[in-house]
Amino acid sequence: MNTPQGARARARTEITAAIKDEARRQLAAEGAAKLSLRAVARALGMVSSALYRYFPSRDDLLTALIIDAYDSLGAAAEEAHEAVADEIPAVRWTAVCVAVRGWALAHPHEYALIYGSPVPGYVAPQTTVPAAARVGLLLIGVVRDAHERGALTPPPLPGELRAEAERMTADFAPGMPPEAAAPLVAAWAQLYGLVGFELFGQFHRVVEDREPFFRDAVARLGRSIGLRD
């Protein structure tokens, strides 16, 4: 038997989901910078004061959408990795990268929200960090596993990068050789650069057969870290 408290919680969950769905529609139509709580409330037939009980400000709604997007991307990458969990690290690396591209192509406006131009006046809070880190931590895990298996041959580390690479290793990649940390960060950035160039049109009339191009590019990124095929 449903209790009044349970019914209220279910109703709140449903209304919260409806608010976020409408906000995503506005993102697609207008962009994140024009997201408006009043417009969302109007589209849902709510008064603004009622919507504020769910999201006190535009920034709170943006934060919820950002966390959802990062979590959705992270889940897609983790599912792809799980499907090839028994393969060598180089194969797992490529699978994760391909999943990132696939998610971005399927969710272009959400990808733009988290990896496109910053929203004027919005500063992401620390609560977004765990969701944002999911893909990066997955890639770190692949490279660390390659190192533990003896399947990693990182490139020589320039002397001027030694201190920074050691800091990176201590901060977010313990158990990984510093020689792999700097190229891993570069590869992580280049992964999103490849996806962004495709999604935002920079590859128009430059790269036509994009899937094999992408697979080859991310495999090269893996090799730049030291992953062996």
Q: What is the CA radius of gyration of the chain?
A: 21
Quick: pLDDT tens for 30-61: 888 889 899 999 999 988 888 899 999 999 99
Which residues on adjacent β-strands are paired with residue 152?
227
Q: Where in the chain is the domain with CATH 1.10.10?
A: 1-56
* Average pLDDT taken over every residue of the chain: 93
Kindly report whether the global pTM for this prediction surpasses the value 0.85. Answer: yes
Range of 37-41, 48-52, 67-71, 170-174 with top mean pLDDT: 67-71
Quick: pLDDT tens for 184-197: 999 999 999 999 99
Q: Domain 65-225 belongs to what topology?
A: Tetracycline Repressor; domain 2 (1.10.357)
Tokens 């919820």 sit on residue:
64
Show the DSSP H helices in the chain as ranges.
4-30, 37-44, 48-51, 58-83, 89-106, 108-115, 129-132, 134-149, 162-172, 178-199, 210-225
Whole-number pLDDT of residue 212: 96
Mean pLDDT over 55-75 rounds to 96
Q: Per-residue confidence at 1, pLDDT binned at 50, 70, 90?
A: very low
Q: 122 with 59: CB under 8 angstroms?
A: yes
Mean pLDDT over 165-193 rounds to 95
Which one is the CATH code of 1-56: 1.10.10, 2.40.50, 3.30.70, 2.20.28?
A: 1.10.10
Backbone φ, ψ for residue 128 (5° rounding):
-85, -15
Distance CA 22, CA 87 (A): 41
